[in-house]
Amino acid sequence: MANKLSFTSLIALMFVCAFATAQDSEKPEGTKMNNIKLNVLPLAIKNFSLQYERVITKRFSAAVGLRFMPNSGLPIKNTFIDLVGAADPNAAATIDNLKVSNFAITPEARFYVGKKGYGRGFYIAPYYRFAVFKSAEVPITYENSAAQSNTIKLNGKITTHTGGLMFGAQWFLGQYISLDWWIGGGHFGANKGSFSGKASIPLTPEEQADIKAEIDAFELPFGNKTAIVNAQGATVNFNGPWAGIRGGLTIGFRF
């Protein structure tokens, strides 16, 4: 409920600010109030990030961003494999075979503090982010009754609700092009998710114990996990805090 209220509060703040300051006689003639932007930095890691910004007054604008990554291998996975490969071959194999995707929507309010305004100059931007992270075929390796290695594959998603603050600066390059530098920001909130997989044949109590030990050995940077393993398969539930950082460099078209 708190997450829904925070989202509603941010949207309400945008509209209150917009209507409260709708009359602005200082707007230069021909000012372009719309801006569609592409964040170029995440393209290197297969993330596509777009933002639409609407200038409301000299000091205030509202924006909404969309980010998505199609189902594919983990970005820069070779770096992670090099870090863990020698010490944990199973973890390296998991990283190599992992398929991930994500989606996020980020509404924000922007307050321009410089002299020029109307979408130009330094700004402070409170924002809310809803994100979904999906992963397919997460392998859990265990030993069967014949002391042979076997695998059960988990599929699922994690949903997050976070709020944060970002600082940035935007410049106009000619009449139609903008350059928007998301200097830096951070967000904090909560996550909830579940991954599950079914065994091809019923699991023995020893196999169930081995699978649960493998899952329990995996450490999360933050949050909690609960593993439920039975003869049919395994389910892992996640919940707890969630945090992230935000930055970027966008090229925009103004109209």
Q: Would you give per-residue pLDDT tens digits along the chain (255 residues)?
A: 545 545 555 555 555 554 444 445 567 777 899 999 999 999 988 899 999 999 999 999 999 999 999 988 776 666 666 666 556 666 666 667 678 899 999 999 999 998 899 999 999 999 999 999 998 878 888 887 677 788 899 999 999 999 999 999 999 999 999 999 999 999 999 999 999 999 988 999 999 999 998 888 877 767 888 999 999 999 999 999 999 999 999 999 999
Distance in angstroms (rounded) separating the CA atoms of residues 14 and 221: 34
Give the contacts of 64 (CB within 8 A, at least 6 positions apart): 51, 52, 105, 106, 107, 108
- What does the pLDDT look like over 29-57, one tens digit per residue? 778 999 999 999 999 888 999 999 999 99
173 close to 179: Cβ distance less than 8 angstroms: yes
Predicted pLDDT of residue 3: 53
Residue 155 in tokens: 């599929």
Distance in angstroms (rounded) separating the CA atoms of residues 235 and 156: 9
State the alpha helices, DSSP H only, in 36-106. Answer: 77-84, 89-97
- Dump the DSSP string for 8-60: HHHHHHHHHHHHHT---TTPPTT---EEEEEE-GGGGGT-EEEEEEEE-SSSE
Of 98, 165, 106, give the one whose Cα is nearest residue 132: 106
Predicted pLDDT of residue 20: 45
To the nearest 5 percent, what fractions of the chain are helix, strand and coil? 20, 55, 25
119 close to 170: Cβ distance less than 8 angstroms: yes
When the candidates are 3.40.5.90, 1.20.140.10, 3.40.50.1010, 2.40.160.20, the CATH number that belongs to 2-139+151-193+240-254 is 2.40.160.20
Whole-structure pTM value: 0.82
Q: How many CA atoms lie within 13 A of 76 on its CB side?
A: 8
Give the contacts of 236 (CB within 8 A, at least 6 positions apart): 154, 156, 194, 195, 196, 215, 225, 226, 227, 228
Phi/psi at 79 (5° precision): -65, -45
Q: Give residue 110's identity as a one-letter amino acid code.
A: R
Residue 204 in tokens: 């023995």
Predicted pLDDT of residue 220: 72
